[in-house]
Amino acid sequence: MTVSPPHFAGAFKVTSDAHGCPTANLSQDQALAGGNIQFFRKASTDQQLRQVATPPSDRGLLIGIALQGNHRRQVFREHHAEYHDFEENAIYIRDFNDSYRADLIGPFEFLLLEIAPQSLQRIAEEADVAGVSSLNHQIATKDPVLGNLSRALIPAFERPAEASALFLDQMATAIGTYIVQQYGNRPAGGVPKSRRLSRAHENLAKAILLDDLDGDVSIAKVAEACNLSRGYFIRAFRDTTGQTPYQWLVSARIRRACDLLRAPAITSLAEVAVQCGFNDQSHFTRVFASVVGTTPGAWRRDAML
């Protein structure tokens, strides 16, 4: 069924954000920065038709991941218009160099990834696919892998105070690596090989991570200390320890918490939380329970038996 778009011009003044979204229609509008990628979470429960438009610019690339389905949009080309249905985990990739105009139909929730041209080059080099200068354009393409990677960021949007720089940097590297390997216009090449850190680099990386238990150290800082790129360092750290830097740091914090919970001189769970780099006691309890399977208080009681 063909639907004629409404006439927006002159009807009323619409205030839009940097991605062309009418701000009055957004029920969620959040932003996070991670390494080479800017993350945005945008949602609307509005059933009314609204339009997104951005003029050409040199900002780079925009990738959208639908976190829910039942969304439709009419994308206007130079001489025609196309309808696209976005199911859950459907994505689009578009270049800011191209003028964009689309009517959005129905509620939506998208995670947007904005990648500057120089950032795309760095991501490609760190992912061992140097030579990527652009991504293949996509629209309404199903990608559950990118959808699941993106959902790992939702807790960071919901509790930004607990979103450590280490976690965001690591997620940006993982997502960026997947994107350039899956959608990059690149020369033919092999799959990155397994790599391991030297014993000296492994010990140095762990020492730097332990010096900042709250996770506010960046991957770039640790990698630079080891004279490695971020992407290489993350893969080598994982191949060496069996965990990503963030996973290893969380495990180290939990091990330290268990030692403190056994100490009779420390009675307050809030004090344990602070000494282990957690934002507060509730943050400590959530992470501890997710890793150990029980609350810190219950674990302490069992350990004292």
The H or E element that residue 11 is part of is none
Q: Please indicate, yes or no, if residue 132 is contained in any of the structural domains.
A: yes
Residue where a domain stops, chosen among 137, 159, 183:
183
Give residue 302's pLDDT.
86
Q: Is the domain of 30 the same as that of 121?
A: yes
In a domain, 232, yes or no: yes
Task: Give residues with Cβ within 8 angstroms of 66, minimum separation 6.
Answer: 86, 87, 88, 89, 90, 91, 108, 109, 110, 147
Whether residue 262 is found in the same domain as residue 144: no
Tens place of pLDDT for every residue, the chain, 305 residues? 344 444 444 444 568 888 988 888 899 999 999 889 999 999 999 877 688 999 999 999 999 999 999 999 999 988 889 999 999 999 999 999 999 999 999 899 999 999 999 999 888 888 877 778 899 999 999 999 999 999 999 999 999 988 888 999 999 999 999 999 899 986 555 445 567 899 999 999 999 999 888 878 888 899 999 998 888 888 899 889 989 898 999 999 999 999 999 887 777 899 999 999 898 899 999 999 999 999 999 999 888 77
Is residue 181 within 8 A of residue 127, CB to CB? The reply is: yes
Same domain, 45 and 159: yes
At 304 the pLDDT is: 77
The reply to whether 41 and 170 lie within a common domain is yes
Q: Are residue 79 and residue 147 in the same domain, yes or no?
A: yes
pLDDT of residue 288: 93
CATH number of the domain that residue 287 is part of = 1.10.10.60
According to DSSP, the β-strands at 28-34 and 81-86 are unpaired
Cβ 222 vs Cβ 245: under 8 Å: yes
Indicate if 155 and 110 belong to the same structural domain: yes
The predicted structure's pLDDT at residue 163 = 87
Last residue of a domain, one of 183, 209, 229: 183
Quote the CA–CA distance of 305 and 303 in Å, as a whole number.
Answer: 6
Q: What is the span of the domain harbouring residue 233?
A: 199-242
Look at residue 194 and tell me if it is in a domain: no
CB 100 within 8 A of CB 29: no
Query: How far is Cα 40 from Cα 160, in angstroms, rounded to an integer?
Result: 13
The pLDDT assigned to 188 comes to 56
Statement to judge: residues 150 and 232 lie in one domain: no
Residue 116 sits in the same domain as residue 146: yes
